[in-house]
Chain A
């Protein structure tokens, strides 16, 4: 079925009304007109065309009509005016309207969660960020930088523009994420969802909510992709396309990192197929955040990532053309057919065939998809020794901590948490060479981890000598902040509890930080050393 262009919808809506009027003998023409304009306004709002949506509602000429009020509230909600939206929907007559239910719940939750919060703006960059926890505002410069770069990359790759300002709300926890977006709290907890792009904005959880943060910059780029795809397709893109494109774009705004695509999505999908965790592309449900387990979500993400990668491999502008076609047809399979000559079913079949031909890659148990129950005792012992080493390090007993770490099997140190810990212990024991060896090569670890990058940066910085050995720590710290911005080592670029230097050792120079890094460092210190 061919979809009608959004710009032509008011015209067709009016024709529809006229036809309806003709056949209904003029009865209920007014109601039909209002209804048609309300539907058009809703669609315009979902495409972030707020002025056009408002005009449409004005033309409806029924400011007190419940449906019109709901759509006006939706527009206000998209613009970030939660109080106004909630106030509009408080009238009892409005509350009874079915379409008001979701908007009303979100408006109320949003009004509560954003009450008396601070709003940071960068008008030049067209970015607005509301922080539920104002201690997070140190993230603002990094967010603006990410948004600007990600918008550029996404526009380039997908052929869309972004309405300004780009609105972001940084919330403090999963509960607020749920309240602000409508994602069920249990689902948010089950899959560990950290961000949602809905209601015209990106709502993301502060990195301080996790023990060592999460890749918040990539997450932001991922969510911005969702906004872009929603805009292009008028929110009609299927889930596989939405998530596949978002995964594809989440790392394209920045130079490639050593952990991008590690492990490969294909390895995860193949393991998922073995564990019967895979789902057909068109049966992923309403949201990947609502899948029954984090493992299922991981497999689903990998499926869509791998699939979109295959599409992208067809040619430089395949994705752009696909989205452009989607804007017209509104049907992904038809758009695929037009763009590539094959529909979704054919593509799915081809992709699965290709997948089965890929060499089998061993997936580390770190990712939770292995069945190695026999290793549980080893895992428990590893945890025991690692924790004891951590406690010994805290009490400034690095030599004893090394003895504990020596009880752990060497191959286990591919886990970045363990390797970062050992590097810190080496550093504390003044064994810089061993410390550097532990963090020198990203290939030694199986995944990115903020503190690992931070230790790496600190060691690289310590090894730098003016004139002879240049300071190569900056990329490591950048990676560390991109994952764990509120770690003191990441933000302040120093070891918070470094032992006193030896009497004859040259004193390490205090890091000189730029203002935004300094602000982040202060926030990190405040967070780690709460009164």
Chain B
């Protein structure tokens, strides 16, 4: 309590002392304030310059320094106030150093006045204090105050000078520093100017072929996307890193050399462009911006006639092809037009037109057959669109697409089921007829017999009509295979024959023949149905296997939360459900596999319902695995008998599709296969004769070698002026390019000593040149390019004589070759004789195996012609021999057609087949084997031969696509 009182007293400043302190403070205050303020200004300038570095650390340090300065000022002021409110501190401050003894005495006296010792009166204590204070030298304090004031004033002067110097030298830097210190998100709040005399030049993208132009800066501009903007200007302040920015991207200015800075900005989107200075991580932008609106290159606009619409192939059975007429337009130009077919996850693109990038409007057409492999193999809706690609080189080519024509294909196996049902209906008719003929008793009277014959003939005609209708109808693009048709018609003809005989002489024997022929026909038709059903079931199951696999992929996609999963699963589900139902109508195997499909779908549905995607996928894959191996569920490879089993009790499974009439069908098929082989062998022999009669001798070619090379060089020079790159198919440029290509092919063939090919290529080149010339004449009326026309005329003038000379050379070579080949004609005569014998033998065998009559007649004719060819060869008459050989070959091919083409089974997609020749043949890819490459070359060359030009380009494009 006592101590508190003492401290309270200590705060009181005696009057005398107070006067000295006040005098000191008044003398010092102003100079000191000036010095303090000057120091502050300099300190802040330093901090700003530090902040201008722009890095986060520099900005932080500057901020901390300023905060520390403020704190220091506040602390100093507080300390000052505290000192001059306490008598003891005042004494210590003012006299502590100059008069330590007096100061000490005064402080003791001050202490005694607060706490007088026992026995000492307060008055005495105060008197003692008064004397001690008065002993303090007041004048000395005043002189000290003056000295301090002077020092403060001097410091203020120096600091002010330093501040002014800084301001003069780095004043804008200090402003920038302050701006940067206050920056938020890397952007300074106050915009500052950095560039004077600005100018802006815009250069549109090359493909637009537009000139560059100057534009006003700091305004609103509209420019094509891809324009290159060039901004120039003189920098206001040196030493700044300036950039052109849209707020996110930055393009630096660089020194142009003339004291100006330059920056180039490729326009890819609408932007507000500003000049900005970069300080570390902070930018200070200019206050004015240039608003540049980017005009995008629109994607091509494609209109497909009659789209959008749906075509249900199972319902619209009359529709065999979809005409596709389109018009594609673009604001700048197009490069390609494609026909695009999409089904589920599959896509196929076909080139409709290859353009030069300048064409702004392209019109064209194509047709899509409903039997197109893509459509046939697809069991989900096929979206048909025409899509055009523009020539945008800046953002990349863009595709514009038309509305879609949606082809809704029939379900898997639906067409096959319809075909089978039609044949079964015919079988029913014949079975009914057989029942009638088996149970009827032949009347005894002639009149009644004739009446019966008439009735049966009439019935037979009806049945025959139904058969004809069934075998000639199309079932959603599917027909009865020609070979089976031939087989059935041959056996039906036997009923007609027997019926005819019975009508003429209605005897019991004649009627028995009718019954036997009907029985045979029913057996054969039954075998055909069984075989076709099994084959169709197999191929349909394999198609469904792909769909099931796709479904499994869809479920895996669902498991991975892919957005494509559910549509994929749904599409596959509907295909499998419908396909499974249709499949079950395809004989025993189809019934088996169809039931499996439906049963497995129950598994899949159950898992799907439980959102168990993994098990649904596994079940779908199980179905896919099963359908991919479309064997009977329980089959034995063993022949006949009762196969054993692991259980020992199993009777195994007979193959119910193995119908009795199979023997007949197989025999027929065997004969047809022999016919095919014979036709192939004969064609090969023809080729041998042709090749040997046209084979040039090495000596002849050696003689011509130099001449060929020189001619090749001349041909190349003749077409040198023609363009290497064409345009749209009908353009002069494209035709001229084609001519050049063919002429170069001619030159190449000559170098390869293939004179025949060279002549063909030369003819094609001339043909194209003619077309180009005609097109150029048409263009001339509209002010076409005369230089091109001149080049074409020059090329024609040089190429024509070369072609004629080459043709003469070829004729000469052929003549020599024929003379040489004539020596070996005897050998060819023998071979042709053997082939002729084979034709005769096959004809005899074919009669037993029920080959069609027309085919048998063709075989006879072929045999005669081949025999004559053999004789002609033996007599050394090559010309006649070759003619007769051609006749024989033609007749063999006619016979093949009448038996039914081996490759044709009327089916859309061939799997393995019970009928021979049904094996799938893979077309080798371009790089797989030299043979296919040679084939491609021959096809392309063949297509280049002279011919009607109207469809040539389309045919060529088709062939190019086919042979890729």
A interface list, Cβ under 8 A from B: 111-113, 115-117, 133-135, 172-176, 179, 183, 185-186, 189-196, 204-206, 208-211, 214-215, 218-219, 222-223, 243, 246-247, 250, 287-289, 293-295, 297-298, 300-301, 305, 366-369, 380, 383-384, 386-388, 391-392, 394-395, 397, 399-400, 403-404, 447, 449, 483, 527, 530-531
Contacts and interface: CB of A to CB of B under 8 A. Distances in A.
A527 to B, nearest CB: 7
Contacts of A301: 644, 648
A111 B432 CA distance: 51
A402 to B, nearest CB: 9
B649 A218 contact: yes
Contacts of A111: 618
B519 A192 contact: no
Contacts of B663: 380
Contacts of B629: 175, 185
B901 to A, nearest CB: 29
A115 B621 CA distance: 10
A176 B623 CA distance: 10
B640 interface: yes
Contact of A287 (B639, B646, B648): B646
Pairs A-B, 4 closest by C-beta atoms: A368-B641, A294-B643, A192-B643, A192-B652
Contacts of B598: 530
Contacts of B599: 133-135, 172
Contacts of B607: 115-116
Nearest to A246: B648
Contact of A392 (B431, B639, B649): B431
B648 A116 contact: no
Contacts of A300: 644
A210 B646 contact: no
B622 interface: yes
B523 interface: yes
B651 A391 contact: no
Given A172-B599, A366-B642, A403-B438, A223 B631 contact: no
Interface in B589-613: 591-592, 594-596, 598-600, 602-604, 606-607, 612
B625 interface: yes
Contacts of B436: 400
A193 B637 CA distance: 11
Contacts of A135: 595, 599
Contacts of A399: 435, 438-439
Contacts of A293: 638
A214 B650 contact: yes
Contacts of B56: none
Nearest to B644: A297
Contacts of A449: 651
Interface in B504-552: 519, 522-523, 526
Contact of A218 (B427, B643, B647): B647
Nearest to A382: B660
**Chain A binding surface, main DSSP class:** helix
A144 to B, nearest CB: 18
B522 A215 contact: no
Contact of A214 (B523, B603, B604, B645): B645
Contacts of B484: none
Contacts of A391: 427, 431, 522, 526
Given A403-B438, A530-B594, A219 B649 contact: yes
Contact of B619 (A116, A295, A367, A383): A116
Contacts of A380: 660, 663
B378 to A, nearest CB: 24
A92 B208 CA distance: 58
A408 B616 CA distance: 52
Nearest to A204: B647
A176 B621 CA distance: 12
B293 interface: no
A271 to B, nearest CB: 11
A194 B641 CA distance: 16
Given A191-B644, A196-B646, 13 more contacts: A116-B604, A175-B629, A194-B646, A194-B650, A211-B653, A250-B648, A289-B645, A298-B642, A387-B526, A387-B659, A388-B519, A397-B438, A527-B595
Nearest to B437: A400
B652 A400 contact: no
Contacts of B641: 294-295, 298, 366-369
Contacts of B374: none
A395 B428 contact: yes
Contacts of B584: 530-531
A193 B646 contact: yes
Interface string B559-596: 00000000000000000000001001000100110111
A469 B754 CA distance: 97
10 contacts: A116-B616, A135-B595, A172-B596, A174-B633, A192-B638, A384-B523, A387-B659, A387-B661, A400-B438, A530-B595
Interface string B838-868: 0000000000000000000000000000000
A270 to B, nearest CB: 16
B890 interface: no
Given A172-B596, A295-B638, A397-B431, A193 B645 contact: yes
Nearest to A397: B435
Contacts of A172: 596, 599, 626, 633
Which residue among A179, A211, A293 has the maximum number of chain B CB atoms within 10 Å of its CB? A211
B731 interface: no
A366 B600 CA distance: 36
Nearest to A296: B644
B656 interface: yes
A395 B433 CA distance: 11
A174 B519 contact: no
A384 B638 contact: no
B957 interface: no
B358 interface: no
Interface in B191-244: none
B638 A289 contact: no
Nearest to A217: B649
A400 B435 contact: yes
B515 to A, nearest CB: 9
A183 B645 CA distance: 12
A112 B646 contact: no
B646 A134 contact: no
Contact of B634 (A210, A222, A288): A210
B519 to A, nearest CB: 6
Contact of B637 (A190, A392, A394): A190
A41 B838 CA distance: 71
Contact of A397 (B432, B595, B639): B432
A219 B592 CA distance: 22
A116 B649 contact: no
B603 A117 contact: yes
Contacts of A447: 642, 651
B157 to A, nearest CB: 84
A116 B659 contact: no
B268 interface: no
Given A194-B650, A219-B647, A384-B523, A209 B634 contact: yes
B615 interface: yes
Contacts of A247: 648
A302 to B, nearest CB: 9
A195 B636 CA distance: 14
Contacts of B435: 392, 395, 397, 399-400
B588 A133 contact: no
B341 interface: no
Nearest to A287: B646
B438 A173 contact: no
Contacts of B654: 211
A190 B526 contact: no
B635 A174 contact: yes
Contacts of B634: 173-174, 192, 194, 205, 209-210, 214
B275 to A, nearest CB: 59
A116 B645 contact: no
B650 A215 contact: yes
